Structure 1
Amino acid sequence: MMFRGALVRLAAQYFLLLVLILGCFDFIVYFTVSEALQSRVDNYLQSAVVQATRDLTVTGDTVTVNPQYSPDPSYGDTFLYVLQLSGPQVVTPNASLQTVFKNPSLNDAVFSARVGQGSDTKVFASQQQWVVDTSPIRNVKTHKIVGILQVAQPISWVNDALSRLVRQLVLASAVGILLGALASLLMATRSLRPISRAFQRQREFVADASHELRTPLTLIRTNVEAWLRRVNGANRTYARNIVEEVEQLNRIVGDLTTLALADARQLRIDRQPLELNDVVRDLMTQTEPLAEERGVQLRPDLNGGVRVEGDAARVRQLLLILIDNALTHTPSGGEVSVGVIRRNGRARVTIADNGEGIPPADLPHIFERFYRADKARNRENGGSGLGLAIAKWIVDAHKGDIQVISNEGKGTEVAVSLPAID
């Protein structure tokens, strides 16, 4: 499917955005509910403390509690503990609450109350969590601290409520994420549909144009070559220039046709066992005259028998593109080496030169169609800007990979890795 990678990336972006929104929503809901419940607990506890204080009577250093005291049930379950600093305890908790009011976590709060500072403390006792308000009891006439008041309230219900909320949010978010994933895929598909149609029309146009240009180009070349045989002088030079330009156009049309058919998956790959060393030797013999003409030395580096399963014509085309490209960008006196080696079950072919190299800014784009790092030089040498795009397609069609390492001004190494066979 065309644009599959773009579709997946776009859908993933929509999906991640949805997850982020749901995550923020869940956090806000949880934080808001948690704060509301905590505020409710604080209000209940402070109201219970106020009620208990009203039912305390202080006479000198003695504290008494109204016998009719009963916690207001509207404030939740509250329990009272009153300690006199001198004399017996006024209100003693029952055995089940001893672990609450005698909890070591309250020692600091009791000490602070003795010096006039109240505080709230959370403790875990009797298999649940509690919040305990500890405050000093003063004689209003002498302002002397004569006792300590502690009011305890269980708050496990808050944790239970928040746990239920988390479960509900997780369940709702899971459903939302599932539906969001489907919606993201649908939105991404709709977003890319116009681009896909435009690309399809472009591909069809390129294929049709390439096909339609072959016949007129052939006729032009035939007529110019006939004219070339009958003219001399400047007209002959003009005729040769026309033939060269027609050849250039024929190469571009051929490359466009190849890529158009490749995009349409109409090119067949005829796989058969190939000895890469033999292919490289033939190509080096074929390109040796071109290398000599340009003053470049071709150096083979072949190691044993290295076999792959592939289309002989396409593999040959791939290596010829890479060798020709290396020769094109290597100045006179330079060297191009072609190595073949088998490593870790892969056949590796490297074409290295000590030429001009590729600028770092151009390196990520060299396999794009019509991209030229050096437009002037490529045009001078007849390049169409499609060779490396075709090379990349051939490598992908053979389930291989191609890597380029280049240092500007020092040279380039292209490494092709294909699955090897025995």
Structure 2
Amino acid sequence: MFRGTLVRLALWYLLLFALIVACFNLIVYVSLSQALQASVFNDLQNKAKVAIDNNLKVTGNTIDQDPTKLIVGPNYADVCVVIEQFTAGQTGEQVVNGCSLYGVKELPERTSIALARQGIVSKYIEVTTANETFAVRTEPLRNHEHQLVGAVQVAKPISWIGDTLDRLKRLLAIASAVAMVLGALVALLMANKSLGPIRAAFQKQRDFVADASHELRTPLTLIRTNAEAWLRRSDGGSGAVYARNVVDETDQLSAIVRDLTTLALSDARQLRIDRKPVEVSSTLRGLIDQFQPVAEQRGVTIQPDLDGGVTVQADPSRLRQLFLILLDNAVRYSPAGGAVTVGVARHNGRVAVTVVDRGIGISSKDLPHIFERFYRADKARSRESGGSGLGLAIAKWIAEVHKGDIDVRSAPGAGTTVTVTFPVLK
């Protein structure tokens, strides 16, 4: 009974854990990506500063450059440098191109060179070649009079960053998969532990109902027997009325006890379901014939519309009990002079039994609760008509145990339509 609740609770735990894992993965990935980019950015900034401060000697508007110092040495083992001297034209005179060692023809990058002519530093631009992606920083070069005379462009390969992040994604995916498997096991354990007290309380309640129902049978039988004896010996006066009231109330209590016993045993899965082929229409026809006197006594007509030849695999006694509950409710809540229609139809491998009454109906507020035990929409009227609030709960259990569905549609003053569907026996 708690299996569905256990699974749902475990899924909620697992979803929460998955969100935590996803957030952790995102934080790790973004943090490492930003750290690697910041490392490249700082390295480019430092290398550009070294190139300007130590390797360049600007005299007037002329750049003197020792290519050996610029290209070779520990400071430039992982970068390439392009130095360009500005002239009157749009393009400058390239003094040295250390990137030629990498075979990079895309450098210098002209957009940032144009910005450098305006004194603007291009801090980080990505340039993609056929074999590599470079991060490029371009700084304007000024002489001692602070005049723009050229530009220094420093480039560094960054494809390794993508490779590193790809490896990280693979590692995080593997770790997440392992974590989710472990998380699912932990979620099941936590959900099972959380439901422990509820299971224990429900078991105690179920045991109490079963024991009370069992213990009440004998006293109720004795009360009814004595009341009937009193009724037989009475002279038809007030004593007979009291005795008849006792018999009626005892019958109602006995019915409640029987229903409680049925539900308690069904919860404990102790009720045996003896399935065999059952012809639906003939079963309904027999019940209608038996129930017709009760309906006539209430002034209600039962109108059968039965499609014969439909067989289901079911427990005959439980199926009769289900149909009897539906017929009893329909007749009970129909006004005098009303009619109850009982129909059987086959569609898409399932048989639908429909019971329609034109009685008081059920409000939309009460409709979602009608299958709850002891729930009665109109408690005063239910009590007056003898309803206990257990019939539809039993009907729902019988339908579900036979792999069927039960659906109720109703509106106040418009009557009620109850449809039960079962798989047809092939």
Q: Same fold, TM exceeding 0.5?
A: yes
User: Which deviations, in whole Å up to 9, do the C-alpha atoms of 1:152-186 show, x marking residues without a partner?
Assistant: 01112222222222222222222222111111111
Out of 332, 337, 357, the position equivalent to 2:336 is 332
Partner of 2:86: 85
Structure 1 gaps of 5+ residues are: none
Partner deviation per Cα, 1:203-257 (whole Å, 9 max, x = no partner): 1221111111111100000001111122232222111111111001000010111
Q: Find the aligned partners of 1:394 and 1:255 in 2 and give their Cα distance.
A: 12
Q: Which moved more, 1:352-361 or 1:306-315?
A: 352-361
Q: 8 Å contact 2:79–2:156 — kept in the other structure?
A: yes
1:402 aligns with 2:401: no
- Cα deviation, 1:103-149, whole Å, max 9, x if unaligned, reads xxx44323322333221211222522210012222344263x33222
Moved more, 331-340 or 71-80: 71-80
1:320 is aligned to 2:321: no
The total of aligned residue pairs comes to 417
Which secondary structure state, in structure 2, belongs to the residue aligned with residue 259 of structure 1? helix
Supply the distance in 2 between the matched residues of 1:202 and 1:73 (Cα, whole angstroms).
81
Amino acid aligned to 1:206: V
TM-score (norm 1): 0.93
Tell me which residue corresponds to 1:155: 158
Q: CA deviation at 1:326?
A: 1.6
CA distance in 2, matches of 1:72, 1:409: 96
Question: CA 1:91–1:207 in structure 2 vs 1: closer, same or farther (change >3 Å)?
Answer: same
Provide the secondary structure at the position in 2 that maps to 1:69.
helix
Residues 318 and 394, structure 1, Cα contact 8 Å, conserved in 2: yes
Following superposition, the deviation at residue 381 of structure 1 comes to 1.1
Candidates 312, 315, 340, aligned match of 1:311? 315
Q: CA deviation at 1:298?
A: 1.9
Contact 2:47 2:75 in 1 (8 A): no
How far is 1:10 from its partner? 1.1
C-alpha separation between the residues in 2 aligned to 1:75 and 1:4? 66
Q: 1:71 to 1:207 in 2, by over 3 A?
A: farther
**Secondary structure of the residue that 1:91 maps to in structure 2?**
strand
Gaps of 5+ in 2: none
Q: Which amino acid aligns with 1:136?
A: P
Contact 2:71–2:80 (Cα < 8 Å) also in 1:
no
SS in 1 for 2:178: helix
Asked if 1:352 is matched to 2:352, the reply is no
Amino acid at match of 2:288: M
Tell me which residue corresponds to 1:192.
Answer: 195
Q: Please report how far the alpha carbon of residue 343 of structure 1 lies from its aligned counterpart in structure 2 after TM superposition.
A: 1.0
> For 2:386 and 2:75, how far apart are their aligned partners in 1?
92
One of 89, 100, 104 as aligned partner of 1:94:
100
Contact 2:224 2:247 in 1 (8 A): yes
Which residue is equivalent to 1:291? 295
Q: Structure 1 residues 158 and 281, CA, compared in 2 at 3 Å: closer, same or farther? A: same
1:5 is the counterpart of 2:9: no
Q: CA deviation at 1:324?
A: 1.1
Specify the SS of the correspondent of 1:153: strand
- Give the aligned partner of residue 117 of structure 2: 114
**Correspondences of 1:10-409 after superposition (within 5 Å):** 10-54=9-53, 55-67=55-67, 68-69=69-70, 73=74, 77-86=78-87, 88-92=93-97, 93-94=99-100, 96-101=102-107, 106-119=109-122, 120-141=124-145, 143=147, 145-231=148-234, 232-409=236-413
| Root mean square deviation of aligned Cα | 2.0
The answer (yes or no) to whether the contact 1:96–1:126 under 8 Å persists in 2 is no
Which is worse superposed, 339-348 or 278-287?
278-287
Q: Which amino acid aligns with 1:151?
A: V
Cα 1:251/1:152, change in 2 over 3 Å:
same
Please tell me whether the aligned partners of residues 48 and 71 of structure 1 are also in contact (alpha carbons under 8 angstroms): no
Distance 1:247 1:74 in 2: 102
TM-score, normalisation: structure 2: 0.92
Aligned mates of 1:308, 1:142 — CA distance in 2: 98
Comparing 84-93 with 308-317, greater Cα deviation is found at 84-93
SS in structure 1 at match of 2:139: strand
Paired amino acid for 1:159: G
1:209 is paired with a residue of what secondary structure?
Answer: helix
Q: Tell me, in whole angstroms, the C-alpha distance in 1 between the residues paired with 2:50 and 2:394.
A: 87
- Deviation string, structure 1 residues 64-90 (Cα, Å, up to 9, x no partner): 224533577467611100122326310
Per the TM alignment, residue 294 of structure 1 is displaced from its structure 2 partner at its CA by 2.9
**Change in CA separation of 1:76 and 1:284 when aligned onto 2, cut-off 3 Å:** farther
Q: Percent identity?
A: 55
Residues 149, 368 of structure 1: CA spacing in aligned structure 2 closer, same or farther, 3 A cutoff? same
